[in-house]
Amino acid sequence: MPIPAPNLNPPFNIVRLSHVEFGVTDLAASRTFYTQTLGLQVTDEDADTIYLRAMEERGHHCLVLKKKPEAGIDYLSYKLWSEDDLDKAHAWFEGQGHAVDWVERPYQGRTLRTHDCFGAPMEFYHKMDRLPPIHQKYELYRGVKPLRIDHFNCFVPNVDMAVAFYGQIGFRVTEYTEDEESGRLWAAWTHRKGGVHDIAFTNGTGPRLHHTAFWVPTPLNIIDLLDLMATTGYVGNIERGPGRHGISNAFFLYILDPDGHRIEIYCSDYQTVDPDLEPIKWDLKDPQRQTLWGAPAPKSWFEHGSVFTGVGTRAAELNATPIIAP
C-alpha cells in the first residue's frame, strides 16, 4: 500500500517530541534507576513527582515520574513552534471531534491536552522554562550518559491509520515495514525534527507505549551500561541487544525500568531533513529489518508495552508475524 504523501504545510507546526510522564509505583526505586543507572539529571522533585532532563537539553524536563497506585503512561508531549500554533492545534483537534482541554503543567506555558486517533493522550506546548547548559559539566555524567530524549514507539491496532492521522499534522515517514501478503503496514517511523523518528508505530494491541528512547554519545556507552547493570542488580532488566537495527541503522539496547516501562538506548541513526526524502521500504520477513546484526528480538519485545492511563486497548487488525527469537 503506498505511503501517503507528506503534508508539508500542516495545520500547526510541531517542532519535535518533548517529554513523557510515567506513572510509577515506587518513586524511590525509579529515581535510583533513572539517575544512577541511566544518568538523567533531577531538575525538581517533591514527595510525588520527579522531573528529569538529559545532558544536552535546555528545557526543564524530558521525563516526569509521578507516583501512582498502578504503572502507566499519562501522556506524550510535543513542542510547538509558537503560541499561535497552540491555538491552531486546538481548533484543528476540536474540528476533528477530539476532546480538547487547556491544562496546567509546572514549568510550562499554556498546554493543550487532547488525544490521537486511538485515544492515546497527547499534549502540546510552546514555552518551557529554560535551564543553564550542563553538557560540559562532565562531573555530572553518570550511567549511560544520555544526551537527549530521541523518540517514542507505540503499539497501535492499525499502523495505516496511525500514518494517515499523524501525516495530517506534519509527521513524515522515513522507513516502513509492509506485509507483502496484505499490502498493509506492520510498522512505520515518522519524524518532525530531522532524525529517523520522533514517533514510530508497531502493529499490536494498542494504543500502548512500546518504548521511550534516549540518545547517547557512542556505542561504548551502551557497553558500559551493560557492565553497570550486570553488577548493580539490574541484569534481569536487560531485554534485548546490544545490536544494530536495519531500520534506522541505529546501535541499540532495550532495558526495562522497575515498573516495566521499556527504555531504548540509541545512537548512530541518520539525518532526514530534506522534505522530499523517499521513505525506505522493508519486507516484514526480512531478518535484517529489525536486527542488521545481533540476536533476534525476544517474544516479549512484540507483546509487552505500557498502557496509557484510563485508555482502553484493542487487538491488532493485521495478523502478521515477524521473526521472533526462539
Cα–Cα distances (Å) from 185 to 83, 279, 284, in that order, read: 35, 13, 9
DSSP β-bridge partners for residue 238: 255
Of the candidates 263, 166, 158, 141, the residue with the CA atom closest to the CA atom of residue 207: 158
Q: CB burial class (10 A; 0-12, 13-18, 19+) of residue 296?
A: middle
Of the candidates 23, 123, 111, the residue with the CA atom closest to the CA atom of residue 74: 23
Counting every residue written for the chain, the total comes to 326
Of the candidates 212, 200, 201, 221, the residue with the CA atom closest to the CA atom of residue 52: 212
User: The C-alpha cell of 232 is what?
Assistant: 548493580
Per-residue pLDDT, 2: 72
CB neighbourhood size of 275 (10 A) = 8
Say how far residue 160 (Cα) sits from the centre of its chain: 19
Taken in order of first residue, the domains within the chain and their CATH numbers are 14-130 (3.10.180.10), 144-307 (3.10.180.10)
CB neighbourhood size of 2 (10 A) = 7
Total-model pTM: 0.97
DSSP β-bridge partners for residue 113: 101, 123
Do strands 111-115 and 101-103 pair parallel, antiparallel, or not at all (unpaired)? antiparallel
3-class secondary structure, 35: helix
DSSP characters over 281-306: EEETT-HHHH-SBSPPPPHHHHH--E
Per-residue pLDDT, 326: 60
Query: Which run of H or of E encompasses 228?
Result: helix 219-230
Per-residue pLDDT, 303: 95
From first to last of the 326 residues of the chain, give the pLDDT tens digit: 678 898 999 999 999 999 999 999 999 999 999 999 999 999 999 999 999 999 999 999 999 999 999 999 999 999 999 999 999 999 999 999 999 999 999 999 999 999 999 999 999 999 999 999 999 999 999 999 999 999 999 999 999 999 999 999 999 999 999 998 899 999 999 999 999 999 999 999 999 999 999 999 999 999 999 999 999 999 999 999 999 999 999 999 999 999 999 999 999 999 999 999 999 999 998 989 889 999 999 999 999 999 999 999 999 999 987 777 76
Per the CB < 8 A criterion, the answer to whether 55 and 292 are in contact is: no
Per-residue pLDDT, 322: 77
Q: How far apart are CA 25 and CA 259, in angstroms?
A: 7
**Vertex 80: Cα angle to 74 and 84 (nearest 5):** 120
Query: Which residues are within 8 A (CB) of 57 and not within 5 positions of it... i.e. 6 or more apart?
Result: 148, 149
